[in-house]
Structure 1
Amino acid sequence: MEPGRSFLDLNRYIFRKKMKDEEKSRAQLIEELAGLRRQLDDVQAYADPEWRRLEKWRRSFRRLQDLLAGVVVLLEERDPHLVEHQRRVCSLACAIAEEMGLPPEQVETLSAAAMLHDIGLVFIPPEILHKTDSLTPLETALIQAHPRAGFNILENLESFQPIARIVLQHHERLDGSGYPAGLAGEEILLEARILAVPDVVEAMAYARPYRLNLGINQALQEISQKRGTLYDPEVVDACLRLFDKGFDFL
């Protein structure tokens, strides 16, 4: 074979190989792009219903906020001390939920429940709520009925049903010693287990018409000692971390 011919054949071979490699690269690129498109389609298929779900939740929550504002105004006229208690409990409950990594929807539901958790107390005569002496068995039973009373109010309001269940359970305790149903452990909604901790911390840290405040240190000692018996350990730990970081009630 002529030397020039061999060189020409070699060039043709290299050229054909290069073309095949380029075709292979193009085919591979097309396949990769098609794969990416399929992934994007999958993401879009997921994102569209997820977006619609979030939009539906946002609209429902805006309606809930409007209703909540009206209810809080009525409560404030009835018992301003009660509303202040609920506001402080709400600020700590939401901070705990965020510290635990709960999603925004769950935090907002908890926020609404915290702002209304003692709404059932409006049916209790003030002379019983503010009594400085020991309560009679009947008076104790009346006060322990307030979660059920709150539930009965809220379950009939549009968008308040999930909140009503949290309100119903916020005095349940991990070991089953709470009320009104004596639920235990994970029978209690997580939001209710969260709400129980700031409720007792605020109640001990702030004065009431019938007693002086016991102080935040004693309140934190209380939840630390009852961690795992009355109160959810994860919730207690999150609460203690917040105060270590300098949390203060709003």
Structure 2
Amino acid sequence: MIKIKEISEQFAVIDSLIVEILNCAAEDFLGLNERFKEAYSKSTSISANAEEVFAVYASSYTSESLLNLRLLLKKFSQAKKETNKYADSIVKSIDEVYDILDSIDLHSKNINQNLLTLKFLLANLKITGIESHSDEVTEEKDELFIEFNRLVNKSKLAELELAKSLHGNMKLLREGVDRVKKNMRNANQQIGIAIDIINESIQIFSEKQQDLSLNIPKLQENNAKLRDSIDSIITNL
């Protein structure tokens, strides 16, 4: 009897342990079930957010942004073309004015040479003298020589002032052309940098948009598999 009693007590202990284990297991399974449900909810939210982000990048908004970049590139290229055309026109006009001034300078030098020749001839004529039997004629001749010399000297001074002014203006024009060309080189360089950046942005944008468009179906497929797996685990629990 003692042995039977001891065995019964041992079975009772075993039954108690089994009940305790089952209760703990049930609580653990319930907790595990809740954690899987929470994981399912979070994974669903993360997947939805990821799909939404990917969809935004692959949406018409992104396509519109890409289109705007291409339009901006076109405007920059057109601006560069028109700016160069305008600068070339300015340089051409300045060169034409410079050529005119250069021609005037050449004529001015010819006038100067003619004035010197005229002055030399007058001096020669005065030295050689003109035979005259009248002191009155000689006096008139001297006055005429003096007046001619005065006019020649006055013309010479005017020619020198003109030449000085011409050379000054020609120098300013040449400096102006150099400044325009320098500014255009700088402007073209900056516009070129902007165009390169836009081109690179368009290329990267296009590649990423294409990658996203290809990866969205894969993401959706993986999300579906993840949801199915978690559903199966929760159901089996």
TM-score (norm 1): 0.33
Higher relative helix content: 2
TM-score (norm 2): 0.35
Bigger RCO (CA 8 Å, 6+ sep) = 2
